[in-house]
Amino acid sequence: MVDAAAPQHGGVRRIYLVRHGETLYRGISGAGGAAPYDLTERGVERLRGLAELFRLIQVDRIVASPLARSFDTASIIAEPLVLPVKVDDDLREITAGSYDGKTGHEIFSEVQHFFVSRETHWDTPYVGGETYRQLRSRGQLFLERALADPGWQTMVAVAHGGINNALLSVVLGKDESSGLLNVEQDFGCVNVLDHDGERFILRLLNFTSYDPLKADLKLPAVQILAALMGGR
């Protein structure tokens, strides 16, 4: 018989790693009511459903990338929990060089090529900007700092597709010989990263509360976004 008074988590610390909700990348934050969220109406509706799931568990801390789409996502999750959102710059998305003079179609093509091409390696610049190696180093630093902080047991961390890929690569112990991690991160998805005191364990990957069995999620998120924006 399990002792009901005994701790059920066994000392395990958990990070719920979330990708921001569906967005049109306007870059204007509505957290606080000053402007619309940097999310689509459908994205907001789905996140409110996800927020209801988080209401059922004990969350100690919510952190987010400083980018509007991530901060707004975290704010929707935090609202029913009555928790503040702390910004962590290491969760920001992989940084591109410049999009100047490029059409939406060209940008989407370059982004997709970077993450799926066999030619991409850890030192390939992302659209002329940050490399995956630099991104992964940021991700590793975030995880190390999080574990060094004893002030939380369960954390929600809201970030982006690229940095989530890098964080998952660190957790899974991948090295550069295997290239970039071949995983999808759908809008508003949740990954569960448990730390047992010695190592991270990936307990859940790319869960979407609005489509648990992925019946309508068969395209990469970048293609869904391209369709939403009309390829402009």
The two tokens of residue 99 are 């999009």
What's the whole-number average pLDDT of the chain?
90
pLDDT, tens digit, 9 for 90 and up, residues 21-34: 999 887 665 555 55
> At 8, is the pLDDT very low, low, confident or very high (cuts 50, 70, 90)?
low
Q: Regarding predicted confidence, which is higher, 10 or 82?
A: 82
Highest mean pLDDT among 2-6, 53-57, 99-103: 53-57
pLDDT given for residue 41 in this prediction? 94
The stretch 101-115 carries a mean pLDDT of 83
Give yes or no for residue 108 having a pLDDT over 60. yes
Give yes or no for residue 71 having a pLDDT over 80. yes
The stretch 123-130 carries a mean pLDDT of 94
The two tokens of residue 228 are 């939403």
pLDDT given for residue 102 in this prediction? 79
**Out of 6-15, 16-25, 56-65, least confident range:** 6-15
The stretch 87-95 carries a mean pLDDT of 97
> pTM to 2 decimals?
0.91
How far is residue 80 from each of residues 21, 44, 77, 134, measured CA to CA in Å? 17, 14, 7, 35
Helix axes 104-116, 161-171, angle to 10 degrees: 10
Residue owning tokens 């929600």: 156
Cα of 37 vs its chain's centroid, Å: 17
- Distance, first Cα to last Cα, the chain: 61
How far is residue 170 from each of residues 27, 61, 188, 213, measured CA to CA in Å? 28, 22, 21, 26
Burial 142-172 (b: 16+ CB within 10 A, else e): bbeebeeeeebebbbbbbbbbbbbbbbbbbe
pLDDT given for residue 226 in this prediction? 76
Strand order in the sheet with 154-159: 85-87, 61-64, 154-159, 13-19, 190-195, 200-207
The stretch 148-166 carries a mean pLDDT of 98
What share of the chain in percent tops pLDDT 70? 91
pLDDT given for residue 105 in this prediction? 75
Give yes or no for residue 5 having a pLDDT over 60. no
- Give alpha helix (H) positions in the chain: 41-54, 68-78, 104-116, 132-148, 161-171, 221-228
